[in-house]
A = this chain, B = another copy of it.
C-alpha cells in the first residue's frame, strides 16, 4: 500500500531518527508476534532476567531492567497469574520476597526465545549475514555504554515521569 521508506527523505540523514522509527516498528511487530503466546516484550525481559540472574527482589529486577515500579508490579501480576513466575519469601532473609521463575516459566522462555530468533531472521532479511553481525555488535556497544545508559539514567533522575 505504501512504497516509501519507513524514514523518508532527509529524515533518514539522522541515525537517531532511524533508530527511533525502526525501534518503534520492530516493537510493534514483536509485540504482535508474542501476543500469540499471550505475552509482551516486558514479560519476556523479566523471565529472561530471572533465568540469567536467578531469583531477585522486585526492586532489584526493576533496577536491572530499568522498569518503573508500577509497570513492574503489573507485569509480575500478569506472570504470576499465568504461573510463569512467583513471589516467594527469600530463604536468605525471610522478611522480604523475591521473584522466582517457575518451571512453566522456563518452558515458556524457551518458546519465546525461539520466536525472537525467528523474528530476527525474518525482520533483518534485507541485510547480508555480515551486515547483520556488524549491526548486532554496534547496537550492543551502544546498549552497554557508557554514553547511552548514563544519559538515560540522568534523564530518569531529572524527569522520572517521562515515558520511555
Contacts and interface: CB of A to CB of B under 8 A. Distances in A.
Interface residues of A, number: 80
Given A8-B65, A11-B45, A157-B1, A151 B22 contact: no
Contacts of A49: 8-9, 11
A29 B19 CA distance: 12
Interface in A102-141: 113, 116-117, 119-120, 122-127, 131-132, 134-136, 138-141
A5 B149 contact: yes
A51 interface: yes
B16 A19 contact: no
Contacts of A45: 11, 17
10 interchain residue pairs of minimum CB distance: A23-B23, A9-B52, A18-B139, A6-B143, A7-B143, A135-B138, A14-B116, A20-B27, A5-B144, A125-B147
11 contacts: A11-B48, A11-B49, A12-B140, A16-B116, A22-B23, A23-B26, A25-B148, A123-B151, A126-B148, A131-B134, A135-B138
